Structure 1
Amino acid sequence: MAQISTEVLGDERGTLLAFVEAQRTAIRETLLGMTEGQAASRPSASELTLSGVLKHVAEVELTWLRMAQQQPNERQRGMDTWADMFRLTEGESVPGVLAFWDGVRKETEAFIAAVPSLDETFPLPEAPWFPKDGKVSMRWMLLHLVEEFARHAGHADIVRESIDGTKAMG
């Protein structure tokens, strides 16, 4: 069960990062005790799997981090590979994706610690779902990650409960 850290920094950055981490933890915990086969199973009407949710959120965090850093995304998805964001492919494993996400987490936290202000903005890419010439702040990005991870933590809870009856909230 996700726990509130006792090491939460009292400032806004620390608080936002603690909320992001709480939602990361909620997702990671849905995979505890799961085999690779169980993590890849689709026990509900949804197409989602635990390992697919895990990979998706890890890659989403990397995407937002690279946008904020204004650097190329080494895992950028095109239409031909978009579905691969939601499933493990050849050579991938739950431990491997967890390790990848942990690296992204460390990089996100270091980046946020280094930005002079959470008010700093970065441009959004051209896409039908973003406003033309849109920009968002670092604060907005962190809140968006909380929203994204919380949504998918809920999905993962339902998938996990469908697999073996384990409930996130007891």
Structure 2
Amino acid sequence: MAQVSTEVLGDERGTLLAFVEAQRAALRESLEGLTEEQAASRPSVSELSLSGLVKHAAEVEQTWLRMAQGKPQRSREDYAEGFRLVEGESIPSVLAFWERVAAETAAFVAAVPSLDETYPLPEAPWFPKDTKVSIRWTLLHLVEEFARHAGHADIIRESLDGTKAMG
């Protein structure tokens, strides 16, 4: 996995990346010791599975990174496919994809002149019109996104086999 230094980072970039990585790790760890079938199962009325959450988080990170870089994004015809593994995908392949995205995120954040740099949000009903966000905002948003899904993952994992993230 792409790792951020384990030492306490004094600068803002390092601190934000460390928080992003901590939440990535919580999601990745929810898969430990599970089979592909267990990780794809949905033990509640929710449509969420552990492998689907990890895939979603990796794709979300890539989407925000591409927006920040001003690069084209992948469009998905079937929204639900973003929350489940499809033909040819496996837990190792999704984790490897996320590792590459995480490394690209870290390199981009290290290279950007300032965390105050902004980029426009695309036209979408859930974004205010003509809005720009900063790289700093993006990193904080990733912490929020991953933490929300790590909470989902905790509940799903405990429902599967009683494993608890905390204790």
Report the TM-score when normalising by structure 2: 0.96
Shift of 1:36: 0.1
Deviations 1:18-51 (A, max 9, x none): 0000000000000000000000001112110001
Give ranges in structure 2 of 5+ residues lacking alignment: none
Shift of 1:76: 2.4
Residue type of the partner of 1:163? Answer: L
Q: Distance in 1 between matches of 2:144 and 2:17?
A: 13
Instruction: Say if 1:63 and 1:76, in contact at 8 Å, map to a contact too.
Output: no
Q: Distance in 1 between matches of 2:26 and 2:124?
A: 30
Q: Which 4+ runs in 1 deviate beyond 6 A?
A: none
Report the TM-score when normalising by structure 1: 0.94
Q: Distance in 1 between matches of 2:8 and 2:128?
A: 34
User: Partner residue of 2:72?
Assistant: 72
> Of residues 107, 123, 137 in structure 1, which corresponds to 2:120?
123
> Of residues 140, 143, 148 in structure 2, which corresponds to 1:143?
140
Give ranges in structure 1 of 5+ residues lacking alignment: none
User: Partner residue of 1:87?
Assistant: 84
Deviations 1:137-159 (A, max 9, x none): 00000000000000000001100
User: Partner residue of 2:155?
Assistant: 158
Aligned-pair identity (%): 77
Shift of 1:81: 1.7
User: Partner residue of 1:98?
Assistant: 95
C-alpha RMSD of matched pairs (Å) = 1.2
State the SS of the aligned residue for 1:47: coil
User: Partner residue of 1:132?
Assistant: 129
Shift of 1:5: 5.9
